[in-house]
Structure 1
Amino acid sequence: MFVRPTNPISHRLARMAFISACVAALIVAAAGPLHRYLGLDIEAAIAVFRYGFYVAVAGVALGLATIVPTRPGDRRRGFVAAFLAIVIGVAGAWVPVSWFLWSQQLPVINDISTDVASPPAMVALLQLRRGAPNLPNYPGAAAAALQRAAYPDIVSIILPVAPAEAFKRADRVAMALGWDVIARAPAEGRIEAVDTSNWFGFRDDIVVRIRAEGTGSRIDIRSKSRAGESDLGVNARRIRDFAARLKAER
Structure 2
Amino acid sequence: MPTFRPRRRPRGGRWPTLLAWLALLLLIVAALVMGGAGPAHRLEMMPLGTAFDLLRGGTYLALGAATLGLVTLTVASLCRRWRLALMGGLVLVVVAVMMAVPWQLMQRAQMVPPIHDITTDMQDPPSFVALVEAREAAPNAVDYPGEATARQQREAYPEIQPLLLDQPLASVRSAVEAAALDQGWEIVARTETGLEATATTFWFGFQDDVAIRLTETPDGVRVDMRSASRLGASDVGTNAARIQAFLEDLSQRLE
TM-score, normalising length: structure 2: 0.89
Q: How far 1:76 sits from its partner (Å)?
A: 5.5
Q: Residue deviations 1:124-159, cap 9 Å, x none?
A: 011222421111111111111111111110000111
Could you say which residue in structure 1 is the equivalent of 2:73? Answer: 67
Could you say which residue in structure 1 is the equivalent of 2:232? Answer: 228
Q: How far, CA to CA, are the matches of 2:204 and 2:125 in structure 1?
A: 27
Gaps of 5+ in 1: none
Q: How far, CA to CA, are the matches of 2:74 and 2:45 in structure 1?
A: 43
Counterpart among 212, 223, 227 of residue 219 in structure 1? 223
Gaps of 5+ in 2: none
Counterpart among 163, 181, 188 of residue 175 in structure 1? 181
Residue 116 (1) aligns with residue 147 (2): no
Tell me the secondary structure at the aligned position of residue 221 of structure 1: strand
Matched residues, number: 248
Could you say which residue in structure 2 is the equivalent of 1:244? Answer: 248
One-letter identity of the residue aligned with 1:23:
V
Moved over 4 A (4+): 1-4
Q: How far, CA to CA, are the matches of 1:165 and 1:3 in structure 2?
A: 77
Could you say which residue in structure 2 is the equivalent of 1:165? Answer: 171
- In the superposition, relative to structure 1, how do residues 54 and 3 fare at CA in structure 2: closer, same or farther (>3 Å)? closer
Could you say which structure has the larger radius of gyration?
Answer: 2
Q: How far, CA to CA, are the matches of 1:27 and 1:156 in structure 2?
A: 42
Counting only pairs closer than 5 Å after superposition, residues 1-250 of structure 1 correspond to structure 2 as: 5-71=11-77, 74-75=80-81, 78-186=84-192, 189-250=193-254
Tell me the secondary structure at the aligned position of residue 68 of structure 1: helix
TM-score, normalising length: structure 1: 0.91
- In the superposition, relative to structure 1, how do residues 192 and 59 fare at CA in structure 2: closer, same or farther (>3 Å)? same
Q: How far, CA to CA, are the matches of 2:83 and 2:12 in structure 1?
A: 10
**8 Å CA contact retained: 1:25, 1:88:** no
**8 Å CA contact retained: 1:161, 1:215:** no
Q: How far, CA to CA, are the matches of 1:7 and 1:85 in structure 2?
A: 21
Q: How far 1:3 sits from its partner (Å)?
A: 6.3
Q: How far, CA to CA, are the matches of 1:81 and 1:26 in structure 2?
A: 19
Q: How far 1:240 sits from its partner (Å)?
A: 1.0
Identity %: 35
Tell me the secondary structure at the aligned position of residue 31 of structure 1: helix
